[in-house]
Structure 1
Amino acid sequence: EREARSGHRAAVLWFTGLSGSGKSTIARALERRLFAAGCQTMLLDGDQVRHGLCGDLGFSPADRQENIRRVGEVAKLFFQQGSLVLCTFVSPFAEDRERVRALLPEGRFFEIYVRCSLEECMRRDPKGLYTKALEGKIESFTGISSPYEAPEHPEMIAETDSESVDGIVESIVASLEREGILPRAAGT
């Protein structure tokens, strides 16, 4: 009923990648595009969630796992209300991402690997985090002193080293149309 009213199917789009790879930039551009097309959307951004819902958590492996668990449950709630939920989280561990996938029906979780070289992420470093991590001021920083497990079989890959934000958004919209999440030409 909700999907019929909104004109699209509910789904969770999970943007994962290193800090500075472009997850939030792409998700914000996609969210604007979908909202302008009349889609019911919700953007859950890692930085915002870390200051509110997960403000009590640090960056230990257990806290990172709990951060993603909480976000997965919130994403599921918005999904159940018929939204297209865009989640932007480093989410470095494959097991945590798979737990979120398991919360949703088959074909409704889209892992989008925002792939960007560590060197380019360090060059961009919009928040100065890589500099701090290299100076030893941030412990367990993904890509420097803590691992990032790249997705082995993501639904989509966004190459932010070489593709434009607009081009990536177009690719994601086209993929969602092919998968039947969006009606054809929904993003136009």
Structure 2
Amino acid sequence: MNEVVSLSRPAISPYTLLLANEARAALKSQAPRCLWLTGLSGAGKSTLANALELQLNQQGLHTFVLDGDNLRAGLCRDLGMGADCRRENIRRTAEVARLMVDAGLIVIVAAISPFRAEREAARRLFAAGDFIEVYVSTPFAVCAQRDPKGLYRAAREGRIKDFTGIDSPYEAPLLAECEIDTQTIDMGEACRRLAALLIKK
């Protein structure tokens, strides 16, 4: 009788590292955090993330920006735009962000991340207070008018499917730690508010 080879996934036992996360953060003299910017395409998330990182860097802080488009060009390039793929995209983004926070960094995530459940799942990966949700609440009409990548036009013409805000929903945060409307708040003030939020946390 031939032996049956099991193809099931082997048990995973995470290895306990000797160096504590607190030691990594102490070396950088900062409190690591994940600042998660969510909002519609064109809301200003990437612009805000980049401006904030520049400001924090000038203050001597150790940072990194995880931008949704950059991740889809590499780590998540195998994923489509349907609901299941979007969930997996956010799961991967959150896992990378958590590892960077463990490394002692201040991580700024700029991703549409349209579903509340996935953002809440991301929050649960972090210790209390280490995940800060920022709703970049620029209105749909403004985002569609800006349309910096021509995506709204392509979606309306049927060349893009499952586009957030048109034929796929965006679920706005209910209890975000901060809300920024880039239509009414200039970039300098927005960065000041987020930097102050990081210090307060």
**TM-score scaled by length of structure 2:** 0.88
**What is the CA-CA distance between 1:176 and the residue it aligns to?**
1.4
Q: How does 1:1-188 map to 2 (within 5 A)?
A: 1-179=23-201
Q: Deviations over 1:103-134 (max 9, x none)?
A: 00000000000011111001110000000001
Q: Is the 8 A contact 1:6 1:38 kept in 2?
A: no
- Which runs of 5 or more residues in structure 2 are unaligned? 1-22
Kindly provide the CA deviation profile for residues 118-156 of structure 1, in whole angstroms up to 9, marking residues without a partner as x. 110011100000000010111010001100000000011
Structure 2 distance, partners of 1:140, 1:3, is 40
- Residue aligned with 2:81, SS: coil
Query: What's the offset of the Cα at 1:48?
Result: 0.5
RMSD (Å) for aligned C-alpha atoms: 0.7
Following TM superposition, by how much is the alpha carbon of 1:37 offset from its aligned partner in structure 2, in angstroms?
Answer: 1.1
Query: Which amino acid in structure 1 is aligned with residue 59 of structure 2?
Result: A
TM-score, normalisation: structure 1: 0.94
> Number of paired residues?
179
RCO comparison, higher one (Cα < 8 Å, 6+): 1
Q: Separation in 1 of the partners of 2:175 and 2:146? A: 26
Unaligned runs of 5+ in 1: 180-188
* Displacement of 1:75: 0.5
Shift of 1:13: 0.5
Greater C-alpha Rg: 2
Amino acid at match of 2:64: M
Q: For the residues of structure 2 that align with 1:91 and 1:12, how far apart are their CA atoms? A: 14
Identity %: 45
1:2 Cα deviation after fit: 2.1
